[in-house]
Structure 1
Amino acid sequence: MKTIIIDDKNIKNELAALRYKSEEKFSDIEKNVAEIINNVKELGDAALRDYTLKFDKAKIDNFKVTDEEINSALSNVSIDIIEILRKAAENIRQFHILQLPKNISLKKDGLELNQIFTPIERVGVYVPGGNTVYPSTVLMNVIPAKIAGVSNISIATPPAHDGKVNDLILAAAHISGADTIYKAGGVQAIAALAYGTESIEKVYKITGPGNAYVAEAKKQVFGQVDIDMIAGPSEILIIADEDANTEYIAADLLSQAEHDVQAASILVCLSENTANKVQNEISKQLNNTPNGIRAKTALDNNGIIFIVEDLNKAFEISNEIAPEHLELLITSPCDYLDKVKNAGSIFVGQYSPEPVGDYFVGVNHTIPTCGKAKFASPLGTMDFIKHSNIIHYSKTGFLKDQADIKTFAEAENFYFHANSIARRK
């Protein structure tokens, strides 16, 4: 990990360099993604089969996972894992059901205004494959949609070379209540969900993480469908003081670095002593497994330790970076929560490591990255709900406001608007 001592002279340049590095990762794939989307849009299943064979090395005749395949998966997954998935699912339900909105109403002088909430009818959830499998992503996306009242939830996930979907993915899909599971991954799956094919029904919104190509695909189909967010590589920022346990810090930095080689692990601490101890501890915990090699590459490429003079400067850096995950490994961390302005999820104290949010406690792990926590929020129940406004005037109420509305329309030179108002008696 690179170590940088921060002062008032270099802080702006260092943070600007960090932002630029994050942005440049997505600059060179637009054309390839657009070509795949257009081919799936025009050729449907034929293009989807060709791309699945090309990218996933799987020959697929029927994209839809059958009930027999789901039942087989449930019998293959251990009872202990099934029980853990059920516990996690219940925790997610308990937290996300609290996010359901209530309709509102305003009545005054012959006018009634209402705002009503209705679920999106059709949602597609993308569940990535690649380095590992993500049953947690299934739970985190499907359960809030079910709570919101979405009537049709489809999952798209890449098949293995043998044309099968991972058993854990299918078990999580069953537990969370997904309606349909498709054997399709990558850009081609996003295109199929957005535009529909002979086998895959189009949806109205697509959620779920993916690699840079999937993120770009979601960006390009936005407008045809809604999306949750354009997510980048996973990231963690830890603020640590001199009393923080460096063994825990190292473990938590590595927990994000193992996601992929572009993951960002950042430590903001108060001394070179802490920085050196963390570096040494990382070396102890790393190994030569595939995850260890991937984590080391990520730390070498994107790992940074900022050394600052005090916690005020630490929070200044954190708020500018706006991390996906923020850990507060400091004395009396709750006393500093009001200093956090921009962060996706905040993990408070040494017994709240980031992985508890990835899997189990109930908060959502689909979180804005690449600084987007400055204006965006973690996925939740409200992401699967829309609202409509209802306006109901009585004759008396309308006539009372008629002249004002007509004059307002005329002030904007919209005379047919004014005419619509004036003709009512």
Structure 2
Amino acid sequence: VFYDTCCDFGSRFDTAVSQWEAPPVYSDLPSSNDSIRGEIRHTIETVIDTLDSSLRSLSLQIHSHPELMFEEIFAHRLLSDYMESHGFSVTRHYLGLKTAWKAEYTHGQGGRTLGINSEMDALPEIGHACGHNLIAISGVGVALAIKSALETYNVPGTVVLLGTPAEEGGGGKIILLERGAYKGMDACLMCHPSPGPELSSFVVSSLAMQSIDAEFFGQSAHAGNAPWEGANALDAAFLSYSSVSVLRQQIKPDHRVNGVINGSERAANVIPDYAKMRWYVRAPTRDQLTQLTERVCACFEGAALATSCRLKITKNTPYYDLRQNSILAGAFSHTICQEYGMNVGQYPSGASTDFVFLPSLHPAFAIPTRPNGGNHSPAFTDSARTTEAHKACMLTTKALACTGFRVLEDNIFFIRVCVLPIS
């Protein structure tokens, strides 16, 4: 199952976490209780511990150079150079995306292929308020640890780390998917920071999402001398906003509709002839998303009719609902609980991501935050660079690497993950 973590992966965690009690350990999943062999886990841990200071440096550099979607030039160069220096074959500007990159390493012949994602983009004005600096280095750490384990234990296999741009609303992974970036992968992994109690991790689902641009075209006129000659596009936008606000009373509790009116310079004595809005519509399934999107678009159509404006609706590529592979989730949860002392809970998320169409695992891990300082807040930007956040990221990276290596090395585990229909 493969998505691109749309803009705000953890934006709804604050509510859940405020009511958080010790969650049920993720032990009821159909996964075996056997862990990765101890010597392999030790190899993975040693590699990640050895890389710790350089991974921390990468994280801080990316955090200090926030770049918006499709503009991750600094992170593209920094990470691709780093992977190349560690023996990976690197393709920069991958598949026509100027800030995408692919780092690949193969040991032996005839093995399986594991994919990993490293996100890089930041948010406007508030920087790395979703912690993509941590996601980036986790992917790097997982890839390098698995490379070492393949060599040490002479296991044939390929590890592919993708630098995926534009998670925050640009659907970078969806573009890469459509262009064949994930073809040939047997499974794909990544992780994401969130607020939450210390030493906690979450295996979460996410909502399907449709982003919509609604543009209103009116007629400018002098607001004082001849307002009757105008058609106010800004009125259409405000009426749309009010209509959606009323609609929210009749939508389901797990549906989400959020929008903004794009700012522009306007004179108060001129009837605005243009207004643009960006909306995110979310629902648990694709079918529910389609139905809710139709209701939201009807609000725009009614507002355009009421204000005599012309309406243009642009529906961008949707993000599908994220479903975690249960076998991968169970193995990850067992490792991170038993070996690293973290609790694992299962929660639905009100956010969305562009990660789907493969057996996949996308856990969240908690980092210390201030009250009301969850994802997509300035406080979370500060949290994402702390030593405590880095330590939580490294524990998660170790558990992910152990889980991913089993896909390549353990034939029975691979069959359960990728062949049997239990995801």
Question: What TM-score do you get using the length of structure 1 for normalisation?
Answer: 0.27
Question: What TM-score do you get using the length of structure 2 for normalisation?
Answer: 0.27
Structure with greater Cα Rg: 1
Between Structure 1 and Structure 2, the one with more helix by share is 1
**Structure with greater contact order relative to length (CA < 8 Å, sep ≥ 6):** 2
